[in-house]
Structure 1
Amino acid sequence: MIAMAAVMGIGRFVYTLILPGMMEGLGLSPADAGLIASANYLGYLVGAIAAAGGWAHGRERSIMLWGLVANVVLSAAMGVTTSLTVFMIIRFLAGVTSAFVMIFLTSIVFSHLAAASRNDLQAIHFGGVGLGIAASSAMMAALIAFQADWRAGWLGSAALSVIGLIVAAVVVRDGTAAGSGDRREPELPQSRGLLLTTLSYGLFGFGYVITATFLIAIVRAGEAGRLFEALVWLITGVAAIASPFVLSWLARRIGLLGAYAVGCLVEAVGVAASVSLGGYVGPLLGGVLLGGTFVGITLLGLQAGREMAPQSPRRALAIMTAAFGLGQILGPIAAGYIADWAGNYILASTIAALVLLSAALVALRAGAAAKSP
């Protein structure tokens, strides 16, 4: 959980919190901001595809730890440059790092939980994303009190990430559990249910990432103040901690893909609310509904993919992450250019909400396909 907080909640999503300061301090446009974000997600896609191969067999723990080291270095590097090109290179490498850590750490954790018959604890692992978001919000609030600029945000993120590295090095003592990592996985099965689930996951990646990237920029455009920006992201993080628990509870009652679809529908409401309600209510509701769903949806999607490919869980994890990454690459680029053209984020967020509705419908069809003979 703490390692996920470092590499995902902080290393990956702190960009959303720091972005408005970068845009003001460096004169970055929404299109520029979208390019930096998409470079990170391109790295995430490349890392996910690379992780699908067999080269990491037996080395999951060491790769994960080196990824956490890289996360610290790359976060600090963002605070010592002002070049758009260098920002994109750093965030690309950070994307590769986050994919490696997420996939290999998750494969380790999930294998040990399966061996102990405690899959109910998977939600704690993914709750780390929200923990990192909340921690970075508290850090930024403290920096705002000292009138620190965006550079301090990145350096502070690196310092927080060191904690995750140390904890992971001490606590994660083994690789994948015995019996789960002692053979190379076969190819993924030819399954319409898995194909549709992967497609839905890619649509979800596109739909959620627009608000996840620009939510605080939307708040900044409303001139509500920097402390309110930190509050919105803090609430997003707290909701994200609860998200996997709430949606996992729902999944036990209506099924993985049913709960996944409900999550996408609720998130679509939050995405629309963030730009349609305005004032303080819109961003706060958007943050609660975004945080309260996206981590849980991520977890349920990965669980569904693993269930449909029980003999190749790591390959399923990687291919789902790759689809997710492709959606994330396209989302910020599209949203940035649309926002530049429209002068606001309303149209981009409306498109994101519609894509999330599509993800829900495709997930329901995937569930029906998985049940058919």
Structure 2
Amino acid sequence: MSIKVLVVDDSALIREVLVRMLTRDSDIVVVGTAVDPIDAREKIKQLNPDVVTLDIEMPNMNGLAFLEKLMRLRPTPVVMVSTLTRKGANETLLALELGAVDFVAKPSVDLTGGLEAFGAGLRDKIRAAARSDVRGNSARADAPKVAVRTAAAPEGAVIAIGASTGGVEAIRAVLTQMPVDCPPVVIAQHMPAGFTNRFAARLDELCALTVVEAEDRMPLRPGHAYVARGDYHLRVERSSGQLKCRLTHDELESGHRPSADVLFESVAKTVGPMAVGAILTGMGRDGARGLKLMRDAGAYTVGQSQSSALVYGMPRVAFEEGAVVEQAPVEAIAARLANALGKLKSAA
């Protein structure tokens, strides 16, 4: 079965580029294009697409306003096409909060060298969106949260989290429940350069924790969370008796940079049984190998359950390969991590 896609963008050039890139593989069919949300509304009714690509800045109705109505009235997997600007990053994060599955950075006119890579990434995201559970995701937004009063742990403990598609909301769900007495949190979320700083700033607004984009050799402090910078690997290292962030621009790992495998492997080596880890929603297998190393080193590990994952790819592989101690719905993961940290404290 082919994936039916509707392309919505007011730029004729961008529509042409997206259609050309999407139709490179036979499993994706562009059933139509629309120039604005009014046009898109009618095309969605007529064509019943499996996935919609949506621009934010359009005439007649803002893409965010249209997305909010679409997710409320007719939940449909949406991939946003975003500009690489501060405003574009802010609006993209809001779109993900409103229910968009993922986003791609809008190709520029001079992107000839990187157009093939852009197209491959776009097609992968369309496939993930087609497999995502947006209807279940909107229902899960009302799931009761598990209160976490304390996540205190011995000095030297670390929480490591890895995620991809759907991870922006899943990470928010976990971090907003974590109290300020928790140990340092290190995060690898698949996200390009230019977006992770705004992602960290948005989390910082919503969480009791202080959330920042990681910087090289930044010391890890309790009550703080560190988001891997887009296009950089984040590792945890110990130097001068202190745990610190280490950022590098070496090769892609498991197809990604930042990679959850790279982060988890460093935590396994550096923190060992004093760590706890979680692998959340996402496409592919990144994180499974590294999380297995964490578990083998004595760390508690949890995977997001299929019922609560927008895309049950990374957590599924981690579960099948024995990398997780248990699986849990996203609203319960903070409590599971806190409970494991409490056991570390009791044993210390």
Give the TM-score, by structure 2 length.
Answer: 0.26
Greater strand content: 2
> Bigger radius of gyration, 1 or 2?
2
Greater helix content: 1
